[in-house]
Amino acid sequence: MYGTKRLRIWARALFAKRTVERELDEEMRFHIDMETAKHARLGFPPAEARRRAAIAFGGLEEHKEAMREGRGARGLERVAYDLRFAFRQLRKTPAFTIAAVLTLALGIGGNATVFSVVNGVLLRPLAYPDPDRLVSISHRSRGGDIPERMPHSSAAHVAYSDARSFESMAMYETWQGSLTDRQAAPEWVDVVTASRSLFAVLRVAPILGRGFSQQEDAPNGPRVVLISHSLWRQRYGSDPLVLGSIVTLDGVSREVVGVMPEGFAFPSAAADLWVPLRLDRNNLGGFNIQGIGRLRDGVTPEAATRELTQLLPRISTIVDFIPAKILSDTRLRPEVRPYLDEVVGTVRPALWALWAMIGLVLLIACVNVASLLLVRAEARRREIALRLALGADRHHLLAQSLAESGTLLLMGGVFGVLLAELAVRVLPTLAPSVLPRLGDVRVDGSVIVYTTLIAATVALLFGVVPTTRHRRVRALAMLGGSDRSGTTDRRSGRLRQLLVIAQVAMATVLLVGSGLVLRSFQKLRDVNPGFRSNGVFTFRIALPYARYSTPQSVATFHYTMLDRIRALGGVESAGATGNLPLAGYSSLMDPLRLDGSPFPPGVLPPLAEMRVATPGYFETMGIPLVSGRLIDRSDTDRISGAVVVSETIVRKVMNGREPIGARVAHGLGGVPGERKWSDVVGVVGDVRGVSLDKEPIGAVYYAMINRDSVDMDWLARSMVYVVRTSMPPATLVASVRRTLAELDPELPLAETRTLASVVDAAEGGMRFSMLGLAAAALVGLFMGAVGLYGVLSYVTAQRTREIGVRMALGATPGAVRASVLRHGLLVASAGLMIGLAAALSLRSLATPLLYGITPTDPVTLLTVSLVLLSVGTLATWLPARRAARLDPVRALRWE
Amino acid sequence: MGESSAEPLRGTIDLLILRTLSLAPMHGWGITQRIQQLSDGVLEVNQGSLYPALQRLEQKEWIDSDWQVTDNNRRAKYYRLTARGRRALGAETESWRRHVLAVEQLLRAT
């Protein structure tokens, strides 16, 4: 075919260039030889014959060139040639090349990394069929003493059960417990209690066995469990015979009925087991459970919210503890949101901010490389002029310069993607608990496409600017050598200055952003959580019902365990509680009533956290006693429970009454006469239980008691121990394990960690945004400083002759230095002003990330200004000093 | 190289090459010699136009080439007419004749 032959010729021209050239040469030589022989036959001596043949043949190289052109692959050949030329040029100036490639690699790599995260966490749809129809069902309130955002409620679930916006709805909650079976040692596992309909909502079925049956999801139905693929693989060796076997979860025996598919991670990758919710319509609860639903095709979350809002009032007819008045007082309303929002949660604003910031870093990088190339282009003006004078094609010169930028970009891009690949790999160790969907973060096709687009933009931004400058080179004027005699070309000088101003401005925005988050983090660290975390080690021990069926046995176990721990050498104090503050558990909150001051019907009493504490807990945690006494061992045997309340409770509930001796009770339900009142025996300091940036709600600490009480059993069966010790954690864990094995060898020791790490994890979100932004800002500041330094050095060098003239005319070194410094600081200040203005206009982006300060925090803005100006001075100082030390005689001769 | 010899008219070199190769495969130099002989020394093909023309014809796949050994044991690139080239030769000859007739007619018209 016509086309294939041509392609073959092109391919040969490009890849077998040597052979093609050799054949061409041979063919030409053959021709001349034959011609020579012909002339020789006519009687000319050999030398003359060859001369005549050569004349007859004409310009050999010219013919060859015509043949090369004729191959039609000339364009491609030229590109290959230009690239090789560019590569040689770049190798000749390694410092420039390394600087440019490194700058580009940082810019592109940073963007590829952040995009991988943004793509995996925010953009990629969830791994369920039709994921955009999955919604979370929660509630929002304004008014009263209840949290603004409330989860779902089983009572509301019943009220909404015939909503037509939904194809299906489900409820779930997560907890942790100990798993025991004949396979291996007891294990602490993450359990999800969920409605049977969850799997219909998600449209995921077990790969082995079956889901829950109707009967199993009903009260008093058979106890069953579904296990995760990873648990199946790790604990049961992927044995299909696990189906039908009996395992014990927190003392309750359950039959394994199914194995979920690999990668099924609902509601998070931590989930190991799913058990049926078994909703009891005669015992519906408050707002303490999560809701998820699948919308019908075409229904928006807003429409679903509207429908649920109309159905909400039914809740008062379903349960009597949520009267209509409470609903209206608290202005409670349902909220249906895309489920992805629920999963992504609070990292969304941090990621958007990070993305914007890393974009700025890339811009700075572009500007840096552009000014590097500009300087290079300036330095090569004479070479370019010479080549133009010798007849070089202007377009070809442009192409060569583009090839150089392209080669730089290519190298920067490759290193950048490698950098991103590396960063994405270490990310899970840097931000384990902060980022949801970490498994979805990877450098994949879309990241490569994004990076390529970025790189193309970069090429446009930095590659074309310097090349346009060639166009203005006047061949003759340049060869005269007069180009550097006076000041530099005014236009290029101005362009470079604008670039530096832009750079400083962008670095300012970066610094302000990271400075604000840094200050917030500082403020957060300054927050007194209400306890001292240093030197405290914690772990959890949960007691199964099977062997610890009575409250007495539970209390006896924990007290014995605590006594033995206190007896270990190196232990200062020890205590236990139900859940640690700041550990990420939704703390159990209930309305709190005060005996003798009944709330009017329909008014919601203030909420309080319900906690349990053993003697030694407050001392170990460093929670101060304000008045009265702490819980002691005798409280365990009291008929009426003893409680300790925190200061906020005194303020919110006691209304100025003496707290010690008052009687309080948790909960809304039940008949007033039968309410179980507890005596307040002491007041302690407040603890931030939910999160560091939220004011304390106030807590009521119950003593473990010896009598039958459902609440108490729920609170005390699984306890977190706190141990203040000077022992290294590993030693302590070993001793505790031994002690535990002596008491009960079947109990797992779970959640072993330091209290400090719990607090660190609570700061994790802020720490993540701070580290990310700080890294971006540091890179940006560094690049900005390098840019400023580079440009000033160059401008100063360009002005050498002018400075020489000035000095010859009597300017002092001090005056010269001042002039250079003034110039640099002027440029830096201009950039700073623009940057501050830009940062102010972007403040809404930062607001959701901040704590305790406003986006216009004067301390941050002032510090950033100082930092920038000092870096600017530093970057200016060296060129200024160099200028001041110039020898006027040499400067005048400077070329 | 007498003064009587002339460059072939532009555009006719393809025709001349095709015609020459229709007799037998030949190398580049041989083609120039054959054209000279057949035209009684009137037409002389310049190397600067011969080789690009050969390359062009090869790209069109009217001719094909391979390396062979000549009578006096030299390696040379031989060109040969393809089936496509033979058909093209017919068409080109036809169009050349029409062209000549037209020019002739024009010249006689005065």
* ipTM confidence: 0.85
Q: What is the pLDDT of residue A647?
A: 92
Search chain B and give the residue with CA nearest A57.
B47
Give the N- to C-terminal CA distance of chain A in Å, as an integer: 60
Contact call for A67 and B52, based on CB within 8 A: yes
Is the model's pLDDT at A757 over the cut of 90? no
* Weakest mean pLDDT among A351-365, A396-410, A623-637, B24-38: A396-410
Contact residues on chain A for B47, CB-CB shorter than 8 A: 31, 56-58, 63
Q: What is the pLDDT of residue A487?
A: 43
Q: What is the pLDDT of residue A709?
A: 58
Q: Assess B61–A contact: CB distance below 8 Å, yes or no.
A: yes
Interface of A with B in 58-87 (CB under 8 A): 58-59, 62-63, 66-67, 70-72
Contact call for A31 and B74, based on CB within 8 A: no
Q: What is the pLDDT of residue A96?
A: 80
Give the residue from B27, B29, B33, B69 with the most A CB atoms within 10 Å of its CB, the best one to mutate: B29
Please give the model's pTM, rounded to 2 decimal places. Answer: 0.68
Residue A457 makes CB contacts below 8 A (sequence gap 6+) with none
Average pLDDT over residues A393-410: 79
Q: What is the pLDDT of residue B46?
A: 79
CA atoms within 13 A on the CB side of A84: 5
Residue with more model confidence, A588 or A642 = A642
What tokens does A314 get? 């039914």
- Start-end of H helices in A688-754: 710-716, 729-743
Q: Tell me the β-bridge partners of A861.
A: none
Q: What is the pLDDT of residue A706?
A: 60
Q: Tell me the β-bridge partners of A177.
A: A189
What tokens does A359 get? 């974009």
Search chain A and give the residue with CA nearest B72.
A34
Average pLDDT over residues A562-569: 92
Whole-number Å distance between alpha carbons of A867 and A782: 12
Is the model's pLDDT at A255 over the cut of 60? yes
Instruction: Kindly report the nearest CA distance between residue A112 and chain B, in angstroms.
Output: 45
Q: What is the Cα A532 distance to its own chain's centre?
A: 29
Q: What is the pLDDT of residue A870?
A: 87
Search chain B and give the residue with CA nearest A7.
B59
Q: How far is CA A375 from CA A136, A177, A371, A628, in A?
A: 57, 66, 6, 76
The tokens 């006594």 sit on which residue?
Answer: A563
The tokens 């609570």 sit on which residue?
Answer: A762
pLDDT digits (tens, 9 = 90+) for A77-93: 777 777 788 888 788 87
Q: Tell me the β-bridge partners of A720.
A: A540, A577
Residue with more model confidence, A336 or A427 = A336
Contact call for A57 and B59, based on CB within 8 A: no
Q: What is the pLDDT of residue A670?
A: 45
What tokens does A603 get? 């008014």
Contact call for B48 and A35, based on CB within 8 A: no
Q: What is the pLDDT of residue A73?
A: 62
Comparing CB atoms, the residue among B29, B61, B67 nearest residue A2 is B61
Is the model's pLDDT at A585 over the cut of 70? no
Contact call for B55 and A70, based on CB within 8 A: yes
What tokens does A690 get? 């939910």
Establish, for the pair of chains A and B, how many residue pairs have beta carbons separated by less than 8 Å.
Answer: 57
Contact residues on chain A for B60, CB-CB shorter than 8 A: 2
Classify A398 as helix, strand or coil: helix
Q: Tell me the β-bridge partners of A1.
A: none
pLDDT digits (tens, 9 = 90+) for A787-836: 777 777 777 777 777 788 888 888 888 888 888 888 888 888 999 999 99
CA atoms within 13 A on the CB side of A79: 7
Question: Do A724 and A549 touch, CB atoms closer than 8 A?
Answer: no
What tokens does A737 get? 């394990």
Contact residues on chain A for B55, CB-CB shorter than 8 A: 67, 70-71
Q: What is the pLDDT of residue A230?
A: 92
Q: Backbone phi, then psi, for A59, in 5-degree steps?
A: -65, 105
Give the residue from B51, B74, B82 with the most A CB atoms within 10 Å of its CB, the best one to mutate: B51
SS3 labels along A754-820: EHHHHHHHHCHHHHHHHHHHHHHHHHHHHHHHHHHHHHHHHHHHHCHHHHHHHHHCCCCHHHHHHHH
Contact call for A35 and B29, based on CB within 8 A: yes
Average pLDDT over residues A475-484: 47
Average pLDDT over residues A290-301: 93
Question: Do A739 and A586 touch, CB atoms closer than 8 A?
Answer: no
Search chain B and give the residue with CA nearest A62.
B48
Q: Assess A23–B contact: CB distance below 8 Å, yes or no.
A: yes
User: CA A670, A176, A169: angle at the middle one, nearest 5?
Assistant: 70
* Weakest mean pLDDT among A10-24, A308-322, A471-485, A600-614: A471-485
Contact call for A58 and B46, based on CB within 8 A: yes
Question: Do A697 and A592 touch, CB atoms closer than 8 A?
Answer: no
Average pLDDT over residues A760-769: 77
Domains and CATH numbers, chain B: 13-108 (1.10.10.10)
Q: Which amino acid does the sequence have at A191?
A: V
Contact call for A30 and B77, based on CB within 8 A: yes
Contact call for B59 and A30, based on CB within 8 A: no
Average pLDDT over residues A106-116: 89
Q: What is the pLDDT of residue A683?
A: 95
Search chain A and give the residue with CA nearest B29.
A31
Comparing CB atoms, the residue among B27, B59, B75 nearest residue A5 is B59
Burial environment of residue A193 by CB neighbours within 10 A (0 to 12, 13 to 18, 19 or more)? middle
Contact residues on chain B for A56, CB-CB shorter than 8 A: 1, 47
Give the residue from A29, A30, A64, A69 with the most B CB atoms within 10 Å of its CB, the best one to mutate: A30
Q: Assess A26–B contact: CB distance below 8 Å, yes or no.
A: yes
Is the model's pLDDT at A654 over the cut of 50? yes
Handedness of CA A58, A60, A65, A67 (dihedral sign): positive
What tokens does A791 get? 């440009």
Search chain B and give the residue with CA nearest A54.
B47
| Percent of all residues in chain A with a pLDDT value above 90, rounded to a whole number | 21
Contact call for B56 and A70, based on CB within 8 A: yes
Best CA proximity match to A201, nearest among A120, A277, A306, A282: A277
Q: What is the pLDDT of residue A469?
A: 55
Comparing CB atoms, the residue among B51, B74, B77 nearest residue A63 is B51
Whole-number Å distance between alpha carbons of B50 and B96: 19
Search chain B and give the residue with CA nearest A9.
B59
Q: What is the pLDDT of residue A777?
A: 81
Contact residues on chain A for B33, CB-CB shorter than 8 A: 38
Q: What is the pLDDT of residue A523?
A: 86
Residue A470's pLDDT band (boundaries 50, 70, 90)? low
Residue A144's pLDDT band (boundaries 50, 70, 90)? low
Residue A483's pLDDT band (boundaries 50, 70, 90)? very low
Give the residue from A27, A51, A68 with the most B CB atoms within 10 Å of its CB, the best one to mutate: A27
Q: Assess B44–A contact: CB distance below 8 Å, yes or no.
A: no
Q: To the nearest whole number, what is the mean pLDDT of chain A? A: 82
Whole-number Å distance between alpha carbons of A656 and A652: 9
Q: What is the pLDDT of residue A682?
A: 93
List of E strands, A511-616: 536-542, 571-577, 589-594, 607-613
Whole-number Å distance between alpha carbons of A280 and A171: 13
Search chain A and give the residue with CA nearest B69.
A30
Contact residues on chain B for A5, CB-CB shorter than 8 A: 58-59, 61
